[in-house]
Amino acid sequence: MQRPLQEQSVAYFIERLNQTFDSETIYMVVDESGLIQYASDSFMQLTGHHGHLVYQNNYERFVYGHESSNQVWLQGKDGSAVPYMKTSLEMNEDDVSETKLSILILQPTESAYETYSYIDDRTKAMNKRALVEVMSKYRTKPFALFIVSGMGEELSEKRKELHSDHVSTYVIGERTWACFKTGEHAEKAVLDMKEKIRASVYPYECTIIHMVNDGVIAPDDLLEKAERALEQEREGEALIEEALRSTLESDGFSLVYQPQVNLQDKTVIGVEALLRLEHETLGSIPPLTFIPIAEKRGLIKEIGYWVLNEACKQASLWRNMGIKVRMSVNVSPLQCRDKEFADRLSVILDEHRLPPRSLSLEITEGLLLFEGDHVLEEVKRLGVQLSIDDFGTGYSTLSYLKHFPVDALKIDQTFIRDVLVDGKDEAIVTSLIDLAKRVGINVIAEGVETEDVLAFLKENHCNEMQGYLYCKPLPPEQVVHYFGQDCCDQLFSE
Ligand code: C2E
Ligand code: MG
Ligand code: MG
């Protein structure tokens, strides 16, 4: 089929351009409103973009710099900024009819002083000035932004990875970088990315703040606001860190215990130890708040060993009273990274003369992914049990069930909560129970709050349950009252 005249002549024009420029030079054909009609292979190679993401997009999405300056930069595949000199030529009327097209020629340069002021020296990524500049172009349009602060290698890898998803990042401080999304769904896109980052690095490695442009606030003010929010979050963390340190020093932590009930023989088969922090000025701080901070600020190991020791001591005390319940202890992935972990665990067990089999460590799925199997193998060799906590919320761990020596999985309470109203949750819970049975491990339902859910779990042959329905986490002297058979019988009456 004959192509329209204009298309034909553009093709011919491009052919000529291809012959004219060396392979380093980038050029684009753009229309009157700046939309890209053609970009050279050299552009695709440098940026890693593909045609469909480039064509009909404004070239300013890819070519950064001051409007008045011909010194610009592009962002390479890994996020580094690469300086170019820009020349813009209107295409000849003879070459192309109808629409007015122009061609942008970008030649590599090393002497673009102006461009370098937009580049972060250390990482070669775009810097804060570049971010403000780009944001100001979108001043009145919807956009969202998040800034990430943290050290880990994984986090900077994450920044580079975002570029393969065609997202620009800006290094705005020594340990801080930002990411910026435009368009109607900017906020959702930013929230999704935030979640992705959080899920792929440990919480201790980053603090993330996100902001949405309301079309009123100036870009640099918005950025400043985000940075201030980040600072506030850090200050809040510092306060809790101080509370954690002083509590450690004064031996002020305590443990509460929540029974785990065997649904077959209707007895309390174990307890989970849960850490509590009651601070004299800050009041009671929930573990979901302070554990990530303890991880981030390097206190989790010491706290973790305190918990292990205290829980084993309690288990041993109960054993001496003739109460033989399995003791489950939550262990942070970071604590398991300690090379001495298995050795210290073994010393603690010996000290309290606790049979290793009566201790179970609850680990989250993330640990399995990051750690390889050796820590877990060592722990297993001691005879201690392992269970996967919050199963189903982290990474897909089905293969771990095959490769790791896991004794139990705990179905996360988010699935249990709505199991009777949400068909998907029901499908997930029944499948997980089935899965656990098939691979021959124990399955525990967390967060059971109602009789109906309990009945459902019994019907579906779940092994154990834990939740407010039977008992909230309680101090040791109170929880013992729930160990008796009559308490359990009440749970199963009718
Ligand atoms: P987790 O290990 O999944 O613990 C279960 C959480 O669910 C506990 O919250 C418990 O109080 C709560 N829970 C139990 N039954 C119900 C119920 O029926 N309904 C509802 N809504 N909640 C229920 P808690 O004590 O606030 O602990 C939160 C998380 O903090 C734990 O989740 C665990 O990840 C972490 N954590 C607690 N203690 C420690 C610890 O000593 N070390 C470490 N590394 N993490 C800990
Ligand atoms: Mg747990
Ligand atoms: Mg859990």
Which CATH number does the domain housing residue 35 bear? 3.30.450.20
Q: 3 pLDDT band (50/70/90 cuts)? A: very low
If asked whether residues 44 and 184 sit together in one domain, one would say: no
Q: Ligand 1 pocket test: which of 247, 290, 330, 474 has the largest number of ligand atoms within 8 Å of its C-beta?
A: 330
Of residues 93, 91, 103, the one with CA closest to residue 63: 103
Q: pLDDT > 70: what percent of the chain?
A: 89
Here the CATH number for the domain that contains residue 229 is 3.30.70.270
If asked whether residues 312 and 432 sit together in one domain, one would say: yes
Residues with CB under 6 A from ligand 1: 258, 274-275, 286-288, 291, 307, 330-332, 362, 389-390, 413, 446-449, 466-468, 473
If asked whether residues 143 and 271 sit together in one domain, one would say: no
Domain range enclosing 464: 251-492
Cβ-based neighbours of 107, under 8 Å, separated by 6 or more? 24, 25, 84, 85, 87
Of residues 307, 435, 330, 434, the one with CA closest to residue 389: 330
If asked whether residues 324 and 239 sit together in one domain, one would say: no
If asked whether residues 154 and 291 sit together in one domain, one would say: no
Q: What is the DSSP letter of 328?
A: E
- What count of other Cβ atoms lies within 10 Å of the Cβ of residue 87? 12
More confident residue, 284 or 189: 284
CA of 416, nearest ligand number: 1
If asked whether residues 218 and 269 sit together in one domain, one would say: no
Q: Sign (positive/negative) of CA torsion 247, 363, 296, 466? A: negative
If asked whether residues 370 and 438 sit together in one domain, one would say: yes
Highest mean pLDDT among 137-146, 167-176, 437-446: 437-446
pTM confidence score: 0.76
Q: What type of residue is 416?
A: I
Of 99, 116, 133, the domain-final residue: 116
If asked whether residues 422 and 347 sit together in one domain, one would say: yes
Here the CATH number for the domain that contains residue 421 is 3.20.20.450
Poorest-pLDDT segment among 99-108, 343-352, 395-404, 470-479: 395-404
If asked whether residues 214 and 320 sit together in one domain, one would say: no
Cβ-based neighbours of 181, under 8 Å, separated by 6 or more? 143, 144, 145, 167, 189, 190, 193
Q: 465 pLDDT band (50/70/90 cuts)? A: very high
Model confidence pLDDT, tens digit, residues 47-57: 888 888 889 88
Of 176, 209, 243, the domain-final residue: 243
* Minimum CA distance residue for ligand 1 atom 10: 473
If asked whether residues 72 and 186 sit together in one domain, one would say: no
Give the distance (Å) from ligand 1 centre to CA of residue 339: 26
If asked whether residues 135 and 112 sit together in one domain, one would say: no
Of residues 179, 198, 199, the one with CA closest to residue 189: 179
If asked whether residues 256 and 182 sit together in one domain, one would say: no
**Residue where the block lists tokens 């992935």:** 333
Q: Give pLDDT, residue 241.
A: 95
Nearest-angstrom CA–CA distance, 140 and 156 = 31
Contact 363, 336 (CB under 8 A): yes
Of 116, 145, 180, the domain-final residue: 116
The number of folded domains in the chain is 3
